[in-house]
Structure 1
Amino acid sequence: MKHLVNQWENIVQLVQNIGGEGYLYVDSVATEDEIVMTERKLDVKLPLSLKEALLGVSKAVDVCWEFPDELIVPKPYKDNSFGKLQWNLHELEVLCDERGQKRLLIHHVGNGDLITIDVADDQPDGEVYYWYEDESTEYLLAKNVAHFLNNLTTLCLIGLEVEQVELFLSSEGLCADNPLALKWIKWFWSLGKKPVIDYSTTGDILRLITHLGEIRPKQMMHLTQMDRSEVKKELLTSSLLENGWHRALLLGELFGSEIREWVLSLWEGVDENLLKERSYLTAKCLPIHIGLPLVIKFVEGQHMTGYEAFHHLSYFRANDVIQWMTNYATLPFEGWDKLFAASGPTWEDLTQWLTSDEKRHMFIAINAIGALVSFRERICFADRLAYGEKPFTIRNLPNSLQVAKFFEEFKQTGRGRNRYHYIDAFLHLLTSMR
């Protein structure tokens, strides 16, 4: 079995070479005395091929690998983006199933299930099983440890969660020579022969964004270097990008006013699944004097809550939204506070709303202070695309002494006292920015 270690090294090295993570630890081999002591402690005879592995390979092994998350794994194998195998002579345990049959636990699977070996008295080299944590189900993995390790290694040390092994199971356990297994093995080893992340076409990049579930700066950079007409065509017509929000962000960021007429056409009908996307594109691609009235009319017509309105009007980052909110925003404040914070409030806006006789204005404004602090900590690339690079702040701020004086006087009124921690956090932020 010593040849297994060389194969594990090759597997880990390949994954590391393509930008993934890999780790291999192989302890010294076990001694006969250690085997005897373990058998006495557990009151079982260790299976023959397990002893062969302990005496010939190592008494403790820990090997794992994980592909870079940019790598798109073929669909049949989508769960096989990582692999892991462990055993340790000194951590072996004996369990009993509901029939009282003894099982030797050799590996804890990441999802809580177990890899066990049958250690019944009449099984000198017992079968290896995948055993559900609740003991309700089991799958045969191999007729003994030797077959288990050889087939698992041939399969490039696939992970041992049930979703990862079930593709390769037969009535005799793990199978490394059925068509699915052979295709997997060929694909895995081909990774060392070509670039694993393909940025050669717009379609490749859109597929990668769908795979990742997010837009990242690197993919955006590559799209800006592609033929613009091709990118626009793919984004407008292709189904490769499954997430409508991602499609809208890319169109708005890459093309802006160039797609003005197309964005206007979105208002000729109603796609209930793309309402937020339409509002974002309207803010990004149309002049504000055209786009903002369209979205405000839609928000009013739908009688939206604060949270709903936020997801349609916040992309404008326009102070005109606050002026509209003066009459329209209501309690509860949730959502309206974030919209106030996102819409370029001035110091005059903030102080007027905080000192307003209308309770709704005061509650929205004081909670908007907390939202401003939260927005300042925004780091998600997609959010920066949605809201732009303009910082979330209060415009026309006086000097810090005047700001502190105003808030001290405001606190003395006792209004909104359970939100004063937002004021303190905002003052701390101002101090740190000086």
Structure 2
Amino acid sequence: MWVERWHHLVERLKQQEAYVHPIELRPVATEQELQQVEERLGIQIPNGFRQLLQNCSKQVSIYWSLPDEAILPIELLDTPYGEFGWSLNDLDFPYFGGDDESDEQQYLQCFTAGNGDALLLKLDDETFWYWSHEEDEFDLLAVSFHSYVENMTALGCIGVDCGQHRQFCSVNGLDVELASSQIWLTWLEQFLSSNLQQAQSSLESLLHYVSMHGAKKTSVQEAFLHFDGVQVFQVLQHKVEQALSLSDQKAWSEVLVRVCPSEAENWVRELWQVQSDMPDSLRDYVTAHCLPVDEGQSYILQDIKKDRIDAYTALHRLRHFHHPNIIEWMKCYVTFPIDGWDSLLAESQPSAETLYEWLNGSEVERLTSIRAICQMIQRGITPTTMIDEEKWRPLLAYWVEHEVLRKNKQLFSQALNCLENWIIKYYMLQRGE
């Protein structure tokens, strides 16, 4: 029944647009395959695990993660995600980092977590353990491998690292009857069975749906139009202000700016006029999405000048504005490393003249511009004005020849090769094709 339950879980997660990696499920192990591994190890595989390899699968791999927008119950210390499995071919003795191998010979490692920690089967009593390589600590997960698989399956094939399993463990290992386990399972079932059409029956149920799925989809945003906009804003404002974690505050802020930005304008202005507990990052975010561009930028730019912040912080605070007038501000702050600056330039509706000016500017401006240009080409973004090919082509060709680093040469070469198609795309957009 495990295999059927795994496929059922993964299919339901997929329907709710969680990220799901296809289940890897290999055939059962043959006696010959088991004996080959046993000969390599010099021991017999413990009987319970051996039977599972023969009757279920010799290799299982399950990975999934919830949507980024999902807001989990505050009682959960870590957001669950899926990372579960084992492999006959990967069976080996663990390495604990010391010179004494006697401890290592007591266990078989059957799975390695993404963080490098190990899942271990103890040879003398077939109990199942987790070993944290950073803490050098052992956690009992189950009295047998069979019990481990059953409890993990019941918990949704959650991740194996310590942040995941410890919140669902008692002294005897994974325990689905723990209060935290029941809270998680209740939430998971609600998530797996959630339905937008049914959620529209009331504002409360719609907000509950949004807490799991966010409000990126147009259909979700339209669902809020059935309710009073002021009431929606007041409820969301309360959720933002009362959220107990920064991640929850951010999640509710993202909903607010998508469904009621105009109703939130005065509230956002007040955040700048009175002492507020809201972190700068969130205040900047709602400012960029709820206020007119010029007004929102003026609030943040005044704050930046007042505090004399560094370039990285300035980028972080203004990254939500995608408007041409942000480009002049950028020239005062842009610096190496240019990660983030290139994306902001690409997304700020640059004209062809602006991009060309940056290509002719300082080294940091030139490299920011060419990276932005390549991003724009890849993403189908065109400049707001027509490119002068007679000026662009020799400049790009010059830097293909004179850039020192190969990766930078490749950027200019890519832009040069794509220049004609980019110009054609500009004309087509202007003609509405």
TM-score, scaled to structure 1: 0.65
Q: In the superposition, relative to structure 1, how do residues 427 and 99 fare at CA in structure 2: closer, same or farther (>3 Å)? A: closer
Alpha-carbon distance between aligned partners in 1 of 2:292 and 2:389, rounded to the nearest angstrom: 37
Task: After TM superposition, give the deviation of residue 373 of structure 1 in Å.
Answer: 1.0
Instruction: Answer yes or no: is the 8 Å Cα contact 1:85–1:159 preserved in 2.
Output: no
Instruction: Answer yes or no: is the 8 Å Cα contact 1:80–1:164 preserved in 2.
Output: yes
Q: In the superposition, relative to structure 1, how do residues 283 and 182 fare at CA in structure 2: closer, same or farther (>3 Å)? A: closer
Q: How does 1:183-262 map to 2 (within 5 A)?
A: 194-195=193-194, 199-200=199-200, 216-217=216-217, 221-222=221-222, 225-227=225-227, 228-239=229-240, 242=246, 261-262=266-267
Instruction: Answer yes or no: is the 8 Å Cα contact 1:129–1:138 preserved in 2.
Output: yes
Deviations, residues 250-281 of structure 1 (Å, cap 9, x unaligned) = 66665566655555545534658438845973
Task: List alignment gaps of at least 5 residues for structure 2.
Answer: 425-433
Aligned to 2:120: 116
Instruction: Answer yes or no: is the 8 Å Cα contact 1:73–1:81 preserved in 2.
Output: no
Q: Which amino acid aligns with 2:102?
A: G
Alpha-carbon distance between aligned partners in 1 of 2:78 and 2:165, rounded to the nearest angstrom: 12
Task: After TM superposition, give the deviation of residue 432 of structure 1 in Å.
Answer: 1.9
Alpha-carbon distance between aligned partners in 1 of 2:346 and 2:302, rounded to the nearest angstrom: 21
Instruction: Answer yes or no: is the 8 Å Cα contact 1:235–1:251 preserved in 2.
Output: yes
Instruction: Give secondary structure in 2 for the equivalent of 1:76.
Output: coil
Q: Which deviates further from its counterpart, 275-284 or 258-267? A: 275-284
Instruction: Give secondary structure in 1 for the equivalent of 2:321.
Output: helix
Q: How does 1:379-418 map to 2 (within 5 A)?
A: 393=383, 395=385, 397=386, 399-401=388-390, 403-404=392-393, 407=395
Q: In the superposition, relative to structure 1, how do residues 394 and 366 fare at CA in structure 2: closer, same or farther (>3 Å)? A: farther
2:102 to 100, 103, 106: 100
Aligned-residue CA RMSD (Å): 5.2
1:66 to 64, 67, 86: 64
Aligned to 2:52: 53
Q: Which amino acid aligns with 1:107?
A: C
Instruction: Answer yes or no: is the 8 Å Cα contact 1:30–1:59 preserved in 2.
Output: no
Deviations, residues 214-268 of structure 1 (Å, cap 9, x unaligned) = 8734586356645322332234443267567777776666556665555554553
Task: After TM superposition, give the deviation of residue 210 of structure 1 in Å.
Answer: 7.1
Instruction: Answer yes or no: is the 8 Å Cα contact 2:111–2:119 preserved in 1.
Output: yes
Deviations, residues 337-362 of structure 1 (Å, cap 9, x unaligned) = 8688776665666777888xxxxx66
Q: Which amino acid aligns with 1:315?
A: F
Aligned to 1:431: 420
Deviations, residues 382-403 of structure 1 (Å, cap 9, x unaligned) = xxxxxxx9x66253x3642354
Task: After TM superposition, give the deviation of residue 113 of structure 1 in Å.
Answer: 2.4
Q: Which amino acid aligns with 1:393?
A: P
Alpha-carbon distance between aligned partners in 2 of 1:340 and 1:92, rounded to the nearest angstrom: 50
Alpha-carbon distance between aligned partners in 2 of 1:187 and 1:49, rounded to the nearest angstrom: 33
TM-score, scaled to structure 2: 0.65
Deviations, residues 198-223 of structure 1 (Å, cap 9, x unaligned) = 854667777777777x8734586356
Alpha-carbon distance between aligned partners in 2 of 1:190 and 1:284, rounded to the nearest angstrom: 31
Instruction: Give secondary structure in 1 for the equivalent of 2:116.
Output: coil
Task: After TM superposition, give the deviation of residue 142 of structure 1 in Å.
Answer: 3.5
Instruction: Answer yes or no: is the 8 Å Cα contact 1:151–1:175 preserved in 2.
Output: yes
Instruction: Give secondary structure in 1 for the equivalent of 2:23.
Output: strand
Task: List alignment gaps of at least 5 residues for structure 1.
Answer: 1-5, 356-360, 380-388
Task: After TM superposition, give the deviation of residue 141 of structure 1 in Å.
Answer: 3.1
Alignment of 1:285 onto 2:308? no
Instruction: Answer yes or no: is the 8 Å Cα contact 1:333–1:364 preserved in 2.
Output: yes
Q: In the superposition, relative to structure 1, how do residues 34 and 370 fare at CA in structure 2: closer, same or farther (>3 Å)? A: closer
Aligned to 1:7: 2
Instruction: Give secondary structure in 2 for the equivalent of 1:131.
Output: strand
Q: In the superposition, relative to structure 1, how do residues 236 and 432 fare at CA in structure 2: closer, same or farther (>3 Å)? A: same
Task: After TM superposition, give the deviation of residue 167 of structure 1 in Å.
Answer: 3.5
Instruction: Report the count of equivalent residues.
Output: 395
Instruction: Answer yes or no: is the 8 Å Cα contact 2:396–2:413 preserved in 1.
Output: no
Task: After TM superposition, give the deviation of residue 16 of structure 1 in Å.
Answer: 0.8
Q: In the superposition, relative to structure 1, how do residues 59 and 398 fare at CA in structure 2: closer, same or farther (>3 Å)? A: closer
Aligned to 1:3: none
